[in-house]
Every structure is written in C-alpha cells, then in structure tokens.
Chain A
Amino acid sequence: MAILEMKRIEILAMLANSKKIVDLLQEYGVVEIDDHQEESSDILYKVSVSPAISQIERFHASAESAIEILNNYAPVKSSMLASFAPRKDMTVSEFLEKSQDVDKILDRCSKLNGVYKKIQDKRIEIVRCNTLIEGLAPWLELDIPSSFKGTASTSAFIGRLPDAYDRESLISAIVSAEPELGFDVEIISSDKIQTCIIAICHKDGEKDFEQALRRLGFITVSDPNSALPGERMDQLQKDIEKCNDDIAEYESEINSFAQEREQIEFLLDYLMIRIDKYKILDKLSMSKNIFIVSGYIPATEVDGLEEKLEARFDVAISVTDPDFENEDVPVALSNGRVASTMEFVTNMYSTPGHDDIDPNPFMPFAYFNLFGLMLGDAGYGLLMVIVTLFVKLKIKPEPDKMRSVDYGLYCGIFTVIWGALMNGWFGDLPQYLGITFITDNHWYWFQPLDHTTRFLLFCFFLGLLHLGFGVVVNMIGKFKKGKILDGILDNVPVLMIIVGVLPLINSQIGGTALAETVQTLFIYDFLTGPAGRVLYMCLAAGAILVVLTQGRDSKGIIGKLGGGLWAIYNAASGYLGDILSYSRLLALGLCTGVIASVINQLASMPGNPIIFAVVCVFGHAVNLGINLIGTYVHTNRLQYVEFFSKFYEGGGRLFQPLKANSKTFKFKEEAKS
C-alpha cells in the first residue's frame, strides 16, 4: 500500500477498431495515455482532430449555457449537502440508446439559448425605450412634431440651449446679438442645465437667426420625429409593456424546458466524454491499417485490461518498465480507507515522486490528533460527527467524495476526544444549562485556560513526538532505498537528542505550574528517576554523534568537524523553531474555547431563554466556521512545514487516467449473462 508500480503499455491494433478500443480504455479508466512517439515514423502518422474537438466544445458550451439558463429560470431546489450526492447510475446500453437523441437535445439547447437571446434583446429594447422616454420628458409640452421645420415663409428651430432662460431673458439675449431680426421664441421647458425652446423667424433672416442661436449654444433636437412628443411617449410606454409581455412569454417558454434538464445534463456528460476521447485520438499513431496507443498503467491493472482487450479485439499488447530517467512517469497512490483521506492534503503540497516514500499512511494519526487538539471543543466535534455521519449514511457519496466526508468524520471524532479532555462543550455551555456533573466529577484532564503553561508544554511535547516520528519515517524511507548506513547515521543521533530532551520538558511539566494529576503519572516518576539520567546521557551522546557523523561527506578532518558542528547548530535552531511552531495548537485551541465562552456569556446576559438559544446558535455557528478554517490551514501547515521537512520531497505528477469524466451520470457495465 503506497505508491503503485507503474508500467508502460503499448497497444497495437487494427485501425478499424481504434474508436472502440479508445472507448473501452475510457470506460475502464486505468490508462493514462501519452503522446505516442516512434522513431521510424515513415509509415506512422498522426491525425489532427482539433477541428472536431473545437466543434464539440462549441456544442458543450451551448449545452452549458442552456443549463445555466435553466438554473436561473427554473432552479432545482437542492440542499447544501447535495454536492455530496452520488451520480445517477446509467448502464452502457442506456448510454448508447440515449446517444441517439443527442442531436435532438442539442437542437433543444440551441432553441433554449435562442429564447434566452430574445429575452436579452427585449431587455436591451426596454433600456433603449427608457432612454428615449427620458430624452422626451422635457419636450412633453411641445404641441407640434419635433421634425417641424417651418411654414412657407417661416423657419422653425426646435432644440435646446445650455443654461436656464425664461422667455424675456432669451429674447433679450438674441436681440443683443442680432438686433435687426424679427422672431419669436417659446420656452417648452427649462431647468438648471438646459432650456428647450422652439423659435420661429422669417425665412429671409433664417441664416442670421440660426447663427445668433448657435452663439448661445443652440443644438437642434437629436431625433426629430413626425409624431407629437406626448404621443411618442405613449407609444414608447406601450412598446415597453409589449416587451415585458414578450419576456414573460419567453420565460414561460423557458420554464417548459425545465423537464428536459436531465436530458441536457446527459448531453453535457456525453460531450465531455467525447471531448476527452477526441483529445486522445490526437495522440495515436496510425498507419493505413493499424494504430498504436501508448501510456502508463498501474501494474496491478495490467492483467485485467489485457484480458478485456484480448477478449474483444485482435490486439498486440506490450508492457514494459518505464524509463524513470527520461520519462515523466505519473504516480498513482493506493491507500487504505484511513490513509487515503490524507491524499488530498499531501497532493495539495506535492504528489510523491516515484522514488519517494508515500507519506499518507504515516500521517492520519498525528493529523487528526493535532486537528482535534487545535479545534479542541467536544461540542463542535459532535456537530462535525453528526453532519458527516448524516452525509455518509443518508446521501451515500461516491468513493472520491466519501474520502472528504471520512476526513471530516475522523477530524470530528478526535475533536470530540480532545474537547472532552479539555472540558470544552461549546465552551462552557453546560454550566449555563445547569449541567454540572462533568465538572463535579472532574471528567476531563484539565482546563487549558487554568493551565496555559501546562497546555503549552504539552503542545511542545506532542510536537517533539511528531517531529521524532518524521525522523523515523525518514529512516524507513532510506532503508527502503537500501541506504541503511545513511539511514542510521542521519537519523539515530537526532532521535537520541529528541528522546533525551523529553525529561527536560517533563520536568517543566511536573515542576512548576502544574497540578498533581500529572505528577501521579508513572511516566513522570519514570522520567525524573534514574531513567531521566540515562536519557540525559542519551541527549549528550546524540549531540556528539551528530557532530561526528553529519560532516562525513566533507573532505579533511576539519571539514568533517566543521560540517558536524554546522549540522548540530542547524538541528538545534531548526528543531527549536519547529517545536515552537506547535504552540499554535495552544493559540488556536484557546481561541475557540474563549470565544465560545464569550458567546455563552453574551447570550445569557438578557436572561431570556429564546434570545439565549438564538445567540448561541448563531454565535457558535460563526465561531465554528472561522475556527474550522483556521484549524484546517494550520494543521496542514504543521504537516507540510514541520513534518514533511523531515523526510518528504514530493515533486511527482499525479496519475490521470483516461476515463469518463461525467458529472451527472455514472456509467456501469451491465452484468453479462
């Protein structure tokens, strides 16, 4: 259980079967197909299918926008936990049957998109009408059409002037510019920034008059129209109403598409699978009659695939060991139920390299303990357990998602344990509810707020254990690679130091600020007794050994000694920093508890049970939310920075086999009779 052995597979078969074979590979989902390269490429060639891909991608986009429109207009009610729901089962023959309808569904999609486009057009139309109405508002008093140009012997000017005028001030302004002219003006409307006017003059003076007006900043109406402004306004309003009616009609049309949602979801899956498949076709090498597909496959899957292929087709399959030096070989992991919950945490840091040790099996115990201690409230832990159990048992997610649910469940369980040890039940909620038996019977280890120093030292102690475990894993990793001597020399002295430091912390725990409970623990007597002296000697010996061994790759006695001294300095400062880092367990743990207590206190202040309940529910929900995120990030950090730095490098590429990447449906093979 760990990193799977990876093989290189080449499949050679008749070209006529190429699509069927790729289909089978996709259905089986165990081969990561790479670009097949052949040195003598005189006969073999490749076919570019990118036009086909982009065509399918266009269909996919169309179906996607159809779904989005349906989500907007006819949303499906779904709970927050719905994303954990398993995909619907569909057999392969059902899939093939439905595939016949694909064109029809696509048609429906583009129809749906078309209807939506019409709604958008109508919306734009409404906006346009509204803008026109706004422009018309100052002209409502005008009782002739705005396109009126004058009579046989007069010229009319309809337009606007900047600034505010009344009739007198406007006439005097024009007269002062052109005193000779005969004219008349009428103010239609006037406000601070503009004045709308109609002015009439004799045809002979038209030019001069227009110039006089222009000097005042006159602009003719921008959209002269033969209808009266009032009539136009009514018409526009009718247009808007009509648009709204149309939109309502289109919307009901969209709603009539609602029952086709499942079809469209199927189409999305279908197209996605097609896209993936076509992308593979690009990578095949083919000649007139045959084709070759190559890729990586976990060694455990080879036999199953060979059997399947050979049963249905004439194929030649060659399986070889990959060349790790020159190839980018992907890494596939296989872990048990508990360890696999850690895979997403590890992969977020880096997938293990092919010669790395898989850290996942070594992580869960420490991870969940650290998580539990950091969140440190049994009440919150219980909530997590209840929610995750509900999802697990009721919604029954698929394996991929089940892992995250399991992750939450284990985190929750350990949060309950550590919360109970630290007497945190939604902070100090039991006290407010009159439940005292926990405190009376002292059913807990200690209250962190009363014993911060003890808590802190306990965190350091856990940190030391965690780091020591990292060193042990490093040793195991080196042993596995056959570097026994390196494994021992690099790690045993460090372990001796770590073990030797234990009584130092222990004497601090027992010595000063702590209650008797710890002192009665045999471990305390053990460590302060003669065993302690042995451990101190162990510490000294470890330090000397580090100096002696860590410079072994340097040349000359001085180089070796210098290297050793440098190593002990590095170890001391590095481990000091690492251990101090575990104080975040205390900081975050206290935070959760104290804020929870403050919420309880606030809630109890008004003395009303209903307010108490409301404030408690709301407050604890927020506190849990914030602290969950903090705990998640910082537990990961302790893994990445402190734990992984002891043994883990990563840098691998995750195995991504060709498979059916469907969202809604899960394709099952039919039981063959």
Chain B
Amino acid sequence: MTMGSVLLILGAACASIFAGIGSAKGVGLVGEAGAGVIAEDPSKFGKILILQILPGTQGLYGFLAAFLILNNYTSELSFAAGLGYFAAALPIAVVGLISGIAQGRVATAGVGVVAKRPDQSGKALIMAAMVETYAVLALLISILLIGQVG
C-alpha cells in the first residue's frame, strides 16, 4: 500500500470520525434535554424525536463522504492523489463536527419550545434546520473535491 492510499483512508476516516463526533454530541445534547420533557409529558415523544434526529445528519454526511472517498481506493494511489482525497474530506469533517454541535444546541433550545408551546414546535424545527445548511454546503464541496481528484 502506498502512502497515497493511506492518506485516502485517513481522509475517509476523518470525514466519518469528526462529523460523527459532531452528530453524537448534538444528538446527545438534545436527548438529555428531551428526556426531561418526556418525563413530564410522554406524549411529546414524537416531536422531540424529530428534533433529536436533526443533528444526526452530519454523521450521515460524513459517512457519505467517507463512502465516496473509499470508492476511489486503490492500493497504488499516488501521494498527491491521496493528499487530495484527504483534503477533500476536510470540509465535511470540520464543518460537520462544529455544525453538529451547534445544531444540537439549537435543537436543545427547541426542546424548550416543544415543552412550553407545543403548537409552535414547527418553528423550532426550522431554526435547527437553518444550521444544517452549512453542513450541506461543506458536504457539497467535499463531494465536488472528491470528483476533482478522481
């Protein structure tokens, strides 16, 4: 296996690791707050579940980028190409990490909306979805970069 191939794997790993961490933290945050509300009112489970899943998409995006990178794996990849794939992984890795946590925090605040004004919970969803735009954009650039290297 060449150094390039190792870099490619490293890139794929980074994409799924960091975006995964972001989502795990985000989903965890919402879950903690949500469990408190459900303890009071179990009927709000559905709405809170939707809020909780929202920060989970960054992990999926990281997974998607990792998958697309791994599709290009060969054991004789040049150093430059490997480095290219690694760089292509960076946008979704870094933005996925941070936006996952940020989205988790917005969604956690949204749990408060569900608790106090359940009729307005749609707005809480949308506010959390606003954060996701930047994860989408990062994923987009990652995908385009992967295409460029390949």
Tell me the A residues contacting B by CB distance below 8 Å. 348-349, 449, 452-453, 456, 513, 580-581, 583-584, 586-588, 590-591, 594-595, 598, 626, 629-630, 632-634, 636-637, 640-641
Contact = CB atoms under 8 A, between A and B. Distances in A.
Interface string B73-97: 0000000000000000000000000
Contact of B137 (A349, A583, A590, A632): A583
Contacts of B114: none
Interface string B116-150: 00000011011011101100110110011001000
Nearest to B125: A633
Between A581, A586, A633, the greatest number of chain B beta carbons within 10 A of the residue's beta carbon is seen for: A633
B18 interface: no
A653 B54 CA distance: 29
Nearest to A654: B119
Contact of B130 (A586, A595, A641): A641
Contacts of A583: 136-137, 140
A372 to B, nearest CB: 18
Given A453-B147, A583-B140, A633-B50, A591 B126 contact: no
Contacts of A630: 53-54, 57
A626 B50 contact: no
Given A452-B147, A594-B67, A633 B137 contact: no
A584 B133 contact: yes
By Cβ-Cβ distance, the 6 closest A-B pairs, closest first, are A348-B122, A637-B129, A584-B136, A587-B136, A591-B60, A583-B140
B125 A636 contact: yes
A636 B128 CA distance: 12
Contacts of B139: 587
A452 B137 CA distance: 14
B10 interface: no
A598 B50 CA distance: 24
Contact of B122 (A449, A586, A594, A636): A636
B64 A590 contact: yes
Main DSSP-derived SS at the B contact region: helix
Nearest to B66: A594
Given A594-B63, A595-B60, A629-B53, 18 more contacts: A349-B122, A349-B126, A453-B144, A581-B133, A586-B140, A587-B64, A587-B140, A591-B61, A594-B67, A594-B68, A595-B64, A626-B56, A626-B60, A629-B49, A633-B129, A636-B129, A637-B126, A641-B130
Contacts of B56: 626
Interface string B40-65: 00000000011001101100110110
Main DSSP-derived SS at the A contact region: helix
21 contacts: A349-B123, A349-B126, A453-B144, A456-B144, A513-B147, A586-B143, A587-B139, A588-B57, A591-B60, A594-B67, A594-B68, A595-B63, A626-B53, A629-B49, A629-B50, A632-B50, A633-B50, A633-B54, A633-B126, A633-B128, A636-B122
Interface residues of B, number: 28
Contacts of B132: 584, 634
Interface of B: 49-50, 53-54, 56-57, 60-61, 63-64, 67-68, 122-123, 125-126, 128-130, 132-133, 136-137, 139-140, 143-144, 147
Contacts of A588: 57
A99 to B, nearest CB: 29
B138 to A, nearest CB: 10
A580 B133 CA distance: 9
A403 B19 CA distance: 37
Nearest to A456: B140
Between A581, A586, A587, A637, the greatest number of chain B beta carbons within 10 A of the residue's beta carbon is seen for: A587
Nearest to A580: B137
A128 to B, nearest CB: 26
Contacts of B129: 633-634, 636-637
B130 to A, nearest CB: 7
A640 B127 CA distance: 11
A633 B67 CA distance: 25
A636 B132 CA distance: 13
Contacts of A513: 147
Contacts of B50: 629, 632-633
Contacts of B49: 629
B11 to A, nearest CB: 17
Nearest to A577: B133
Contacts of B126: 349, 633, 636-637, 640-641
A598 B136 contact: no
A456 B57 CA distance: 19
A634 B63 CA distance: 19
Contacts of A634: 129, 132
B65 to A, nearest CB: 10
A188 to B, nearest CB: 43
A588 B67 CA distance: 15
A454 to B, nearest CB: 11
Contacts of B54: 629-630, 633
Contact of A598 (B67, B130, B137, B144): B67
Nearest to B122: A348
A591 B64 contact: yes
